[in-house]
Amino acid sequence: MDAFYASVEQRDDPGLRGRPVIVGSPPTQRGVVCAASYEARKFGVRFAMLSATAGRLCPTGIFVRPHMDHYREESRHIMQIVAETGAVVEPMSIDEAYLDVSSVSQAEDIDASLLKAMPLARHLKQRILSERKLTATIGIATNKLLAKIASDHKKPDGLTVISDSEKISFLRPLNVRVLYGVGKVTEQVLNQAL
């Protein structure tokens, strides 16, 4: 899901749409950012950032206290829609899941199978938008690592396929930090190894 907590707040309160929404403690209190709308992210506001820092970066930000029960309920609705695809679903968090659609998108070769998964992905995105009024970004690939990179590639409301035959050319121009677990120190080590 795209900026899930903030998107739910924007959906439920039309006055928040198109505005920099920061879900978390107000900047005058000790706390962190639980989620930031894409409008707030333009100011550099990120998940787990101190609320005081978020308030300095985005002085026009609208801080909203988290409504975790509401987000969990919304997640249940979305995961029900996801389950109805016929895929094997592996939830990762309240707003993210991996789907194994190999049984419903079989084809002669792996890249053709990936392309067969696209109509299912489009339908899933459309159902979530029409039924829940929220956007989702989907990545399609041959494994979880590549699918996650694909889903992070074009947010919000994106759909990206990394074909098996083009995975190297897709990954080559990307920063090594797109790989799970690669932080600043590992990035420096890997860049020096080139």
Hey, which residues are catalytic here? 96
Give yes or no for a contact between 70 and 8, defined as CB atoms under 8 angstroms apart.
yes
Q: Which of 142, 134, 138 is nearest to 159 (CA)?
A: 138
In this structure, the strands spanning 62-64 and 21-24 are parallel
42: number of Cβ within 10 Å: 12
Residue 87, phi then psi, degrees to nearest 5: -80, 160
Query: For residue 57, what are the CA distances in angstroms to 28, 34, 65?
Result: 14, 16, 18
Query: For residue 112, what are the CA distances in angstroms to 109, 116, 118, 156, 164?
Result: 5, 6, 10, 26, 10
Tell me, what amino acid is at 153? H
**35 three-class SS:** strand
